[in-house]
């Protein structure tokens, strides 16, 4: 998609001039780069605002119509009002057809529903990056780079260097840098549920083991009725003593007295 932005040169500079420009429905900006000097520009707010809502506008070579002359530019910076839907300032950079440009390109994630992580393992795929830095000629600039998630499984990740790039496009990375683009893992809620279930099963197993260990001990203790008491043993031990007294001290004593009387 080709975007054309209409702008005019502006002479007023400073905060006061920029404030008056915004009140009139304009946006202050600057055009720089190439072999030409920087130029202060102004643009109509509403058309620019609607362009900025299109993702492709941020990663495309734009045509800037400035005072009747057209140039190829890139959008380099946008300043928005802290809480209003209002563009405060915009920067454009000139590009040459034979010079490579460095720009951020958005990522589009596809086929997540076909991945083993989602389809078979009930996992969750996290998008770590939403755009990546690339270098290419203006004519080779892609609108986006596709990330295929169809083979992503739990515990695995997709890294920047594994992404297939369009012809003429190269990654803008330093050294061995290879950041993660997307990863798949089990949701934290599911992990918590599994841990709770495991803890409950372990507690149930421990309770069953304690009951099994206490059961033989309970069987080894005799009932209270089977344990002889001191009072039950006393009559059995005293019975022989009573018979001896009866043999000696009872009839024996009377017999002795009788014998003594007969003798008298």
Structural domain tally of the chain?
A: 2
Tell whether the torsion through CA atoms of 118, 123, 124 and 126 is positive or negative: negative
Name the band, by pLDDT with cuts 50, 70 and 90, for residue 254. Answer: very low
Confidence check: pLDDT of 241 > 90: no
Name the band, by pLDDT with cuts 50, 70 and 90, for residue 190. Answer: low
| Domain containing residue 67: CATH number | 2.40.240.10
pLDDT of residue 193: 59
Q: What is the pLDDT of residues 228-240, one digit of tens each?
A: 554 444 444 444 4
Of 46, 72, 95, the position where a domain reaches its end is: 95
Considering the domain architecture, whether residues 87 and 108 belong to the same structural domain is answered as no
| Strand ranges of the sheet holding 124-127, from the earlier edge strand across to the other edge | 124-127, 180-185, 157-159
pLDDT of residue 96: 92
pLDDT of residue 12: 77
Q: Largest Cα–Cα distance in the chain?
A: 174
Percentage of the chain with pLDDT > 90?
61
Mean pLDDT, residues 84-106: 94
The phi-psi region of residue 175 (left if phi > 0; otherwise alpha if psi is between -120 and 50; otherwise beta) is left
Residue 244: strand, helix, or coil? helix
Confidence check: pLDDT of 75 > 70: yes
Of 95, 130, 164, the position where a domain reaches its end is: 95
Which structural domain, as residue segments, surrounds residue 30?
A: 4-95
| pTM score over 0.85 | no
Considering the domain architecture, whether residues 34 and 88 belong to the same structural domain is answered as yes
Percentage of the chain with pLDDT > 70?
73
Q: What is the pLDDT of residues 17-54, one digit of tens each?
A: 889 999 999 999 999 998 899 999 999 999 999 999 99
Considering the domain architecture, whether residues 79 and 113 belong to the same structural domain is answered as no
Tokens of 209: 């083991």
Of 190, 206, 232, the position where a domain reaches its end is: 190
pLDDT of residue 256: 46
Q: What is the pLDDT of residues 109-161, one digit of tens each?
A: 999 999 999 998 889 999 999 999 999 999 999 999 999 999 999 999 999 99
CA angle 142, 152, 128 (to 5 degrees): 60
**Residue 180 falls inside a structural domain:** yes
Cα(184)–Cα(60) distance, integer angstroms: 31
Cα(181)–Cα(163) distance, integer angstroms: 9
**Residue 201 falls inside a structural domain:** no
Cα(204)–Cα(121) distance, integer angstroms: 28
Cα(5)–Cα(180) distance, integer angstroms: 35
């Amino acid at each position: 998609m080709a975007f054309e932005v209409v702008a005019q040169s502006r002479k007023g500079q400073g905060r006061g001039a920029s404030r008056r420009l915004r009140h009139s429905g304009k946006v202050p900006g600057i055009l720089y780069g190439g072999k030409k000097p920087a130029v202060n520009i102004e643009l109509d707010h509403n058309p620019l605002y609607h362009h900025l809502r299109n993702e492709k506008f941020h990663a495309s070579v734009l045509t800037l119509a400035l005072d009747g002359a057209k140039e190829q530019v890139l959008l380099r910076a946008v300043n928005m009002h802290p809480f209003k839907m209002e563009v405060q300032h915009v920067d454009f950079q000139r590009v040459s057809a034979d010079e490579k440009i460095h720009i951020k390109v958005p990522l589009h994630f596809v086929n997540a529903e076909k991945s083993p992580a989602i389809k078979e393992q009930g996992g969750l795929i996290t998008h770590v990056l939403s755009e990546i830095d690339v270098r290419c000629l203006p004519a080779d600039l892609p609108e986006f780079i596709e990330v295929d998630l169809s083979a992503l499984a739990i515990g695995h990740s997709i890294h920047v260097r594994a992404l297939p790039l369009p012809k003429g496009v190269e990654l803008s990375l330093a050294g061995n840098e290879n950041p993660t683009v997307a990863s798949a893992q089990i949701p934290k809620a599911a992990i918590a549920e599994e841990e709770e279930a495991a803890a409950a099963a372990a507690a149930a197993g421990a309770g069953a083991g304690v009951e099994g260990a206490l059961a033989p001990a309970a069987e080894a203790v005799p009932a209270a009725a089977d344990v002889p008491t001191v009072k039950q043993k006393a009559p059995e031990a005293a019975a022989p003593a009573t018979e001896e007294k009866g043999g000696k001290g009872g009839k024996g004593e009377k017999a002795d007295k009788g014998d003594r009387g007969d003798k008298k």
